[in-house]
């Protein structure tokens, strides 16, 4: 247990996700293939895995599930890097005395998760450093890569068409492709959550109005009572029958 906990911490996952809590009904990923990759048996046969889909479709989530399952079931060592962060580390490593440290540490891993390849641009020099690192690791360790670009757009990953084509050809030679679709899980669920909040607010408002009608407050009761009170009525003096009413106009004329 201590070794598994240590491997989980060393992997630097953005969140802990496992197969037990994976919502296959909400994600478009192939359930059978994800569970199969979660055993990490593909690493024994020199294969990689690539998760392809639009933003918010669960690529990082699925990659984390695969790596966590491999650590928990087989005690394998894994490390997750966001591509831009790895390029930044490689550029800082160029200073004298530090070159090659990242490659030496990663080559001891059983699995590397390279997240968000092609999401954010980086310099051509950084692309060359990443290319050389992955070329050095190729054949020694297995990788799970998340990428959102279509095949026609992938030439822009390293800023060089030939470089990108050469590396992606290697990585996809013996590779499991997991498609996660293009419908954003986060957007879909944020929309549903917003609708639920609006409906809950409307229900609360209707319930409050109903309760106020059934149980009016003291001020409302007082207002109702005041509206029902009899107001004073001005009654004219009673004139006996047969008596003519005084003609006010005539009296005014006589004056």
Residues 6+ apart with CB under 8 A from 98: 92
Give me the half-sphere count of Cα atoms (radius 13 Å) on the Cβ side of residue 24: 10
Beta-sheet pairing, 48-52 with 78-82: unpaired
Whether residue 1 has pLDDT greater than 70: no
C-alpha dist (Å) from residue 252 to 28, 245, 247: 100, 14, 9
d(CA 143, CA 130): 14
Question: Taking the model in full, what pTM does it have?
Answer: 0.68
Tell me the domain boundaries of the chain.
2-182
pLDDT at 37: 92
Return the CATH fold of 2-182: Rossmann fold (3.40.50)
The tally of CA atoms less than 13 A away on the side-chain side of residue 214 is 6
User: How much is the average pLDDT of 152-168?
Assistant: 71
Angle, helices 31-38 vs 59-74, to 10°: value is 40
Instruction: Say if residue 187's pLDDT is above 60.
Output: no
pLDDT of residue 50: 92
Distance, CA of 16 to CA of 82 (rounded, Å): 16
User: What is the rounded average pLDDT of the residues 136-143?
Assistant: 87
Q: How much is the mean pLDDT over the chain?
A: 78
Q: Where are the beta strands (DSSP E) in the chain?
A: 48-52, 78-82, 111-117, 142-147, 175-179
In this structure, what DSSP letter does residue 183 have? S
pLDDT-derived band at 241, boundaries 50, 70, 90 = low
């Amino acid at each position: 247990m201590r070794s598994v906990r240590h491997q989980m911490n060393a992997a630097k996952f953005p969140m802990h996700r496992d197969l037990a809590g994976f919502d296959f009904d909400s994600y478009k990923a192939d359930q059978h293939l994800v569970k199969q990759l979660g055993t990490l048996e593909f690493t024994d046969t020199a294969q990689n895995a690539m998760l392809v889909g639009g933003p918010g479709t669960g690529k990082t989530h699925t990659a984390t599930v695969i790596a966590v399952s491999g650590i928990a079931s087989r005690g394998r060592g894994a490390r997750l890097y966001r591509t831009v962060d790895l390029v930044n580390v490689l550029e800082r490593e160029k200073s004298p005395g530090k070159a090659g440290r990242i490659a030496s540490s990663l080559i001891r891993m059983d699995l590397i998760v390279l997240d968000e390849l092609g999401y954010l641009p980086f310099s051509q020099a950084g692309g060359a450093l990443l290319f050389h690192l992955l070329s050095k690791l190729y054949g020694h360790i297995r990788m799970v890569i998340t990428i959102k670009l279509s095949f026609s757009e992938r030439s822009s990953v390293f800023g060089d068409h030939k470089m990108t084509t050469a590396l992606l050809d290697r990585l996809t030679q013996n590779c499991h492709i997991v498609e996660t679709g293009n419908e954003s899980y986060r957007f879909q669920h944020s929309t549903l959550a917003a609708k639920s909040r609006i409906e809950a607010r409307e229900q609360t408002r209707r319930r409050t109005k109903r309760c106020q009608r059934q149980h009016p407050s003291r001020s409302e009761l007082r207002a109702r009572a005041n509206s029902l009170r009899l107001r004073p009525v001005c009654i004219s003096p009673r004139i006996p029958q047969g008596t003519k009413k005084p003609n006010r106009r005539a009296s005014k004329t006589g004056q």
